[in-house]
């Protein structure tokens, strides 16, 4: 288990994740490892470019997550897993810490970039969370990009589904212990915090199952008074523990530091109820935490002077 810290002074801070769980060095070939790191690097560089040029935290997290959604290595957007019916049901959320505005979508299909639609819900509707056919109708009204089923068809994801489609079993991502989600958090030079998260959910999921990603306060949260959080883990536990908001509350009401709050929630509260995974978090002072209670987490972080990516517990 590991609790990563990165708190050098900077005008902005940015972090991303691409999922957590049983990710150990022997499980990835050197070529696979490099592909994941390159994917993380590209998303990180996108956010850094926006922030270093004075752009907003909202644009940084959205654009970085779009790149991760477009990369089939990650369980979001193009790389989303198959549900029980052999379809793709995707979730996403984004939140602005400046005004506590948020937008989220759940159980959507064929939309190229779910995080873009979540941003539209936040900016161009009176609602926070839209689902299924209604969310897709809203997307059409906003001229969002739709793709055919073949765009989302990844042979590796298809083989995963084939192995368990005739059972009542669900699978988190690559294995039963790999939590596939992507996300980003940012603090911009204007002092604003934002968070964004996107996922394809669980392989073979049924009955319109929804995880923590689109639930504001569970898998995604941002508040300029405290912190920005994007989670990756077994969603049922993150919802039960209201993980993202719990960290913010511990900071606001008990005056815990970001590190103290993350340690308490990820390393103690989640573990106590059987929850596994991690999260990325930035507070209003620019302190950064990337804790996870699993073997690994695809992650990256940067400020104006540093940039780093990592996968394993190191």
**Residues annotated catalytic, as ranges:** 181
Name, in order, each residue with C-beta under 8 angstroms of 12's C-beta and a sequence gap of 6 or more.
51, 52, 57, 186, 187, 188, 189, 286, 303, 304
Question: 114 near 122, Cβ under 8 Å?
Answer: no
Q: How many helices (H) and strands (E) does the chain have?
A: 10, 14
SS3 300: strand
Give the count of beta carbons closer than 10 Å to the beta carbon of residue 58.
26
Question: 104 near 96, Cβ under 8 Å?
Answer: no
Residue 27 is given by DSSP the state: G
Strand 296-302, strand 13-21: pairing: antiparallel
Query: What tokens does 156 get?
Result: 């590796």
């Amino acid at each position: 288990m590991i609790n990563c810290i990165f708190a050098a002074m900077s005008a902005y801070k940015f972090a991303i994740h691409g999922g957590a769980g049983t990710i150990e060095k022997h499980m990835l070939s050197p070529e696979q490892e490099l592909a994941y790191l390159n994917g993380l690097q590209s998303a990180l560089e996108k956010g850094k470019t926006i922030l270093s040029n004075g752009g907003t935290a909202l644009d940084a997290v959205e654009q970085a997550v779009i790149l991760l959604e477009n990369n089939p290595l990650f369980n979001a957007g193009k790389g989303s897993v198959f549900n029980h019916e052999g379809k793709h049901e995707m979730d996403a959320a984004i939140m602005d810490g400046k005004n506590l505005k948020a937008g989220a979508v759940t159980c959507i299909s064929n939309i190229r970039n779910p995080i873009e639609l979540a941003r539209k819900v936040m900016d161009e509707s009176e609602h926070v969370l839209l689902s299924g056919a209604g969310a897709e109708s809203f997307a059409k009204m906003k001229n969002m990009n739709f793709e055919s089923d073949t765009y989302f068809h990844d042979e590796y994801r298809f083989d995963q589904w084939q192995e368990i489609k005739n059972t009542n079993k669900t699978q988190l991502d690559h294995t039963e212990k790999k939590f596939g989600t992507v996300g980003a958090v940012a603090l911009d030079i204007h002092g604003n915090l934002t968070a964004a998260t996107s996922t394809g959910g669980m392989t073979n999921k049924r009955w319109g199952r929804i995880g923590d990603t689109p639930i504001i306060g569970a898998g995604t949260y941002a508040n300029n008074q405290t912190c920005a959080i994007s989670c990756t883990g077994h969603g049922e536990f993150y919802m039960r523990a209201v993980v993202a908001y719990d960290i913010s509350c511990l900071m606001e009401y008990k005056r815990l530091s970001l590190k103290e709050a993350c340690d308490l929630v990820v390393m103690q509260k989640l573990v106590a109820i059987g929850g596994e995974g991690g999260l990325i978090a930035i507070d209003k002072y620019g302190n950064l935490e990337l804790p996870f209670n699993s073997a690994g987490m695809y992650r990256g972080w940067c400020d104006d002077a540093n940039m780093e990516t990592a996968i394993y517990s190191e």
